[in-house]
């Protein structure tokens, strides 16, 4: 395993000094945002975590190894690799063996964070049950991973491109702890309110950290999902974003987009349809999630 896991100098130093780390995913960089905003976002989010005296560790597969933390050069290279693989549990091993460059989704980032002993992970939004999932069976492997791997994931909820009620039902079935942070309702990525009650509410990062450790003590597999609402001044009202989501979804059906391509296609179309407004919100909420993840990590 030591040969497979590569720690950036910064992450290595944090480990040696027993300082907390927060994992960050890389699919958001390669498949979630256009260049150069993706690189700017990645740098900014890492800096936010450092400002809390916590070490950021962006995770990706490069040069046949699992990189826990990326140097500036590696981050730049990844943000400029448009054909990087989008990796989940199913294809992580094959990518390592073939030596390709791979970006990790929520699921793959959780696996790698666990291997590296990192408990907290910040991202934008998680994958979930797609609309029409009862027909297509398109359910993100992120949900299964939350059931299996003990990492606390801070996200702004699930996007309304998904079926949020079904996503919450599946998470409940799988025994995943799902919190809303600071409010009763589960957030919906661009908007603060999905209209659905969150199963759990947390107002204090320390409780989230303690619940994470208690799951470990109880021997419960699986992690926690913390839905952190986007800051009010960056929110896109539901009535503005909904028609764009509907348009993107119809296009995806017409073009018969399937499997791994669905989420990147929808994100890209909504970015275009909103003339970039969706991206500004996306960046603001990832920054907000990085703050909360750093606070949770400090309590662990
Ligand atoms: N949702 C977002 N932004 C993202 C993703 C999801 O709002 O960038 C990415 C994450 O990496 C997530 C993945 O783990 O898409 C889910 O893909 P799929 O739906 O194919 O499982
Ligand atoms: Mn899918």
For residue range 36-65, what is the model confidence (pLDDT) as tens digits?
999 999 999 999 999 999 999 999 999 999
154 neighbors 121 (Cβ within 8 angstroms) = yes
**What's the CA angle centered on 20, arms 16 and 23, to 5 degrees?**
105
Cα of 29 vs centre of ligand 1, distance in Å, is 11
Cα of 221 vs centre of ligand 2, distance in Å, is 23
Cα of 261 vs centre of ligand 2, distance in Å, is 8
* Three-state secondary-structure class, residue 7: strand
Bridge partner residues of 121 (DSSP): 23, 153
Active site residues: 25, 159
For ligand 1, say whether the CB of 277 is within 6 Å of any of its atoms. Answer: no
User: Which residues of the chain fall short of a pLDDT of 50?
Assistant: none
For ligand 1, say whether the CB of 300 is within 6 Å of any of its atoms. Answer: no
pLDDT at position 2:
75
For ligand 1, say whether the CB of 27 is within 6 Å of any of its atoms. Answer: yes
CB atoms within 10 A of CB 200: 19
Q: What CA–CA distance (Å, rounded) separates 278 from 119?
A: 29
pLDDT at position 1:
63
pLDDT at position 3:
87
Does the pTM exceed 0.75? yes
> Which residue in the block uniquely carries the two structure tokens 């907390």?
20
């Amino acid at each position: 395993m030591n040969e497979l896991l590569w720690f950036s100098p910064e992450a290595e130093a944090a480990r040696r000094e027993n300082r907390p780390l927060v994992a960050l995913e890389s699919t958001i960089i390669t498949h979630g945002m256009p260049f150069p905003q993706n690189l700017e976002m990645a740098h900014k989010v890492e800096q936010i975590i450092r400002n809390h005296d916590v070490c950021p560790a962006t995770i990706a597969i490069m040069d046949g190894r699992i990189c826990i933390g990326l140097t500036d050069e590696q981050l730049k290279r990844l943000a400029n690799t448009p054909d990087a693989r989008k990796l989940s549990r199913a294809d992580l091993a094959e990518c390592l063996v073939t030596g390709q460059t791979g970006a990790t989704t929520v699921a793959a980032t959780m696996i790698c964070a666990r291997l590296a002993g990192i408990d907290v992970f910040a991202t934008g939004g998680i994958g979930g049950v797609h609309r029409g999932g009862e027909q297509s069976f398109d359910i993100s492997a992120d949900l299964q991973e939350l059931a299996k791997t003990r990492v606390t994931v801070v996200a702004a909820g699930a996007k309304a491109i998904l079926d949020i009620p079904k996503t919450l039902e599946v998470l409940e079935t799988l025994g995943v702890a799902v919190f809303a942070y600071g409010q009763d309702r589960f957030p919906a990525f661009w908007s603060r309110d999905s209209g659905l009650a969150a199963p759990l509410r947390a107002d204090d990062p320390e409780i989230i950290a303690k619940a994470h450790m208690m799951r470990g003590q109880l021997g419960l597999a699986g992690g926690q999902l913390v839905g952190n609402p986007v800051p009010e001044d960056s929110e896109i009202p539901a009535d503005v974003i909904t028609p764009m989501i509907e348009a993107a979804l119809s296009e995806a059906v017409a073009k018969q987009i399937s499997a791994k391509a669905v989420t990147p296609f929808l994100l890209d179309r909504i970015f275009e349809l909103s003339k970039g407004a969706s991206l500004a919100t996306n960046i603001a909420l990832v920054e907000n999630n990085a703050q909360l993840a750093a606070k949770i990590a400090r309590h662990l």
